[in-house]
Chains A and B, each alone.
Chain A
Amino acid sequence: MTGALLEVERLTMEFRAHRGTGGGRVQAVRGVSFTIGKGEILGLVGETGSGKTTVGKCVVRLLNPSAGTVRFDGQDITRVPRGKLRQLRARFQMVFQDPYSSLDPRMTVARIVAEPVRAHTTDSATEVRAKAARAIERVGLPSGVLQRLPHELSGGQRQRVGLARALVLEPQLLIADEPVSALDVSVRAGILNLLADLQRSMGFSCLFITHDLSVAEFLCDRVAVMYLGEIVEVGTRDELFADPRHPYTQSLLAAAPLPDPVRQRGRAGARLAGEPASNVTPPPGCGLNPRCPLADDRCIAEAPAFTVVSALGHMTRCHRVEERQSAQ
């Protein structure tokens, strides 16, 4: 890991709220900053409404962020002109959650996988075909699927096609938005193994967006936890899972059931009460304060800043952690 490939700084995204919310604005992402090093997989973990998918869409500029910068290899892609952006897109690609809607139902697999090559190179038809065939082989599919239509494939096969399309140009960054959540367990395992293998052999960086902590723990080098539009904790996988500091991360980890009754039933059952606050009217101070058992007046009065808790860059935004840290 030498230097950052992606630097996201103070990223903010607001939407006009839908009916019934009094014309407010949904603050989907509120000042999110993170970096991804070369060859690193960063997991972005959160529940529904945490803003993790919006962050992903801003990073690939499917959405234009309200504020903040997204620097890819030094260039701020929130500000590059359209033509330049189109060229840059060859270097960062995306995999989507739904293997059924992410492939054009009327295109053969060969055309789907060849499309990025056609868009970015002047390769001859033979070269394009060869690249598509190689990409399909790389994701572990038989070459026979090239002439198939998406609906003739299973969910797992479709997701592999999506991966082949994203990797055919050998991008430096892959944004994967819940790529395995729509799949059955046995199929999911194949895709996760494949992603891990491909990352090691091709060396791309990856922003892996997921709600599933066990998946993040399996695949990611570092993990960032989002709550109500903000990153509340970020750290290396080992540190974050072994020693979560933020009350939200702690209860999220405690709430995700382990597929092992011995360990699952032996765990302390610290539960968060209630549900996340509205992101149209987020609470003042720390976003978690209405649900947090440790919250006091300070948590309502002032938003916590990041406290670094380890030499490896494990940090979290919690007044309690900061107070404990400075007391030492």
Chain B
Amino acid sequence: MSLTIAPDPAAMLEAAGQSGRHWLRRLVERPPAVIGLAGVIVVVVVAVFAPLLAPYSPVASSFQAVLARPFTAGHLLGTDELGRDVLSRMIYGAQPTLEVGVLATGLALVVGVPIGLVSGYYRGAADMLAMRITDVVLAFPFLLVAIGLAAIFGPSLRNVVLALGIASLPGFVRIARAEAMALREQDFVQAAIVTGVRDRVILFRHLLPNMAGPILVQATLTIPGAILGSALLSYLGLGVQPPTASWGNMLATAQEYLFNDPWLAVFPGVAIFLATLCFNLLGDGLRDLFDPAMR
């Protein structure tokens, strides 16, 4: 007898949207998201295992082979103006690039989410203040803010992270605030209030876990922005400083040789483009998953 007792369809749909195994499986059903996920994993693996993967040291010069073309013996992607292996610099360059993206996003998340959470839950004066601050940050173009901050604090990895983190802040404040406002009206939060549960518990046990999805999406979509931003800052000489390789400063140095040796610009450029694309694909896929309308 094949009689399966199941709750009504609404509950079944909800179950599909909320159990962990299910959403991983459903993510895998979306080819673009899978490509994105695969790309992100490749970038992370390359960054983490750079010393094992790179054929040469990223800073070792070989004056016998300056500006060697790609596919020459021993240098798959050629060498740069100082005779450094481009492939090795690309591999090592993934590290600061990803680091900036992840750290800046992490900073924005750690600072922005609590601000949004509190302002969305309590509304009132705290909310007004938080919203005006984010409005001010948003009113400046994202990169201009980062450039300004990098100019003030001086060029260093830490300052790039700080600059991009602050510039990415409003996105997290807004998402957390919107989610907090929506969740606050949900019956289960109202029930917690009526029960006399402390605000701290409501904020961290009921609101925060239930907004994890949208925040994860926001993070995945913020990382590529930060990567692009860090590349631009490096390009402007405000980011990671040579001789440390990053895709951004590789691109910056490459511009002098753009005419005769275009590959120097092409490889980091393509890497930035692909990494950004993969994070965006993954983020869009995750967003679809968490969008209630798609459930």
Contact = CB atoms under 8 A, between A and B. Distances in A.
Interface residues of A, number: 34
A260 interface: no
Interface in B82-138: none
A100 B194 contact: no
Contacts of A175: 194
Contacts of A153: 7, 11
Given A152-B15, A154-B11, A104 B196 contact: no
A119 B194 contact: no
B205 to A, nearest CB: 8
A100 B210 contact: no
B14 A116 contact: no
Nearest to A92: B194
A101 B190 CA distance: 10
B15 A165 contact: no
A115 interface: yes
Interface string A137-162: 00000000000010111110000001
A119 B195 contact: yes
Nearest to B189: A104
The number of chain B residues touching the other chain, given as a range, is 20 to 34
Interface of B: 7-8, 10-11, 14-15, 18-19, 186-188, 190-198, 201, 205-206, 209-210
B11 A119 contact: no
Interface of A: 60, 62, 86-90, 92-94, 96-98, 100-107, 115-116, 119-120, 149, 151-155, 162, 165, 175
B18 A151 contact: yes
Nearest to B206: A104
B193 A62 contact: yes
18 contacts: A87-B196, A90-B196, A92-B194, A93-B195, A96-B187, A98-B187, A100-B10, A100-B11, A100-B14, A101-B188, A102-B190, A104-B210, A105-B188, A119-B195, A151-B15, A154-B7, A162-B191, A165-B191
Interface core residue of B11, B192, B201, B210 (most chain A CB under 10 Å): B11
A100 B10 CA distance: 9
Interface core residue of B8, B14, B194 (most chain A CB under 10 Å): B194
Given A106-B209, A154-B7, A165 B187 contact: no
A155 B9 CA distance: 11
B210 A151 contact: no
